[in-house]
Amino acid sequence: MGGESVHIDSAAVVSGPRAAECCPAVKGKSFAAFFRQAEARFGLPSGLVEAVARAESGLNPRAVSPAGALGLMQLTPGTARALGVTDPFDPVQNVEAGARYLRHLLDRFGGNLRLALAAYNAGPGAVRRHGGVPPYDETQAYIEKVLAVLSGKKAAGCQGEQLPHETPPCLDGTMGSLLGRETLGIEAPGENALEIPAVVLRAYLAALLLAVGLEVLTGTGDAERRA
């Protein structure tokens, strides 16, 4: 997550109970239900909070990045303070604050998900300075990784069903149009060619490994230091 100052009305932050007191799903380290609650609370696209948490921390609530970002959503200390977080390793506070910050960034960048994700990774200042997604390899790979996980969840089972987060994501013909990037044509037997960005194929492999329980983490430290 970007390391610049965040100015958000902290009075609206809901601190909530600690993770162990909230619900068995959080206590048992199955965060799917809580991600959905945060998405509903802040009007975020379904699956976005989990996709960001996977890319940021590999769903590790005790994760600490080289740049000092903390917890599931990898909040920087400054952002955590601005959002009223008292314990960034508390999954309840961390996820709620991260979801609220995502909502703030989406509003700030006119609902543009790519720009919001770039700002989450490299900081809003970097997005402003570059007039769009910064030319940082890490930030660009981060965006594709989040979108690959998000696209896989939307096509869960390739039938539009909501499956548990442990289920590997599927690719379908909607991915090319969803991501809006230069694509490769891949022929699927008995179907039209699937338009899938080459970089997304690489991100998809990382997401697939995460889905089956392997740790494939990319830190946000370098992008934070540049922001």
- Give me the catalytic one of 50, 56, 138, 144: 56
For residue 56, indicate whether it is catalytic. Answer: yes
| Cβ atoms 187, 193 nearer than 8 A | yes
Residues acting as catalytic residues: 56
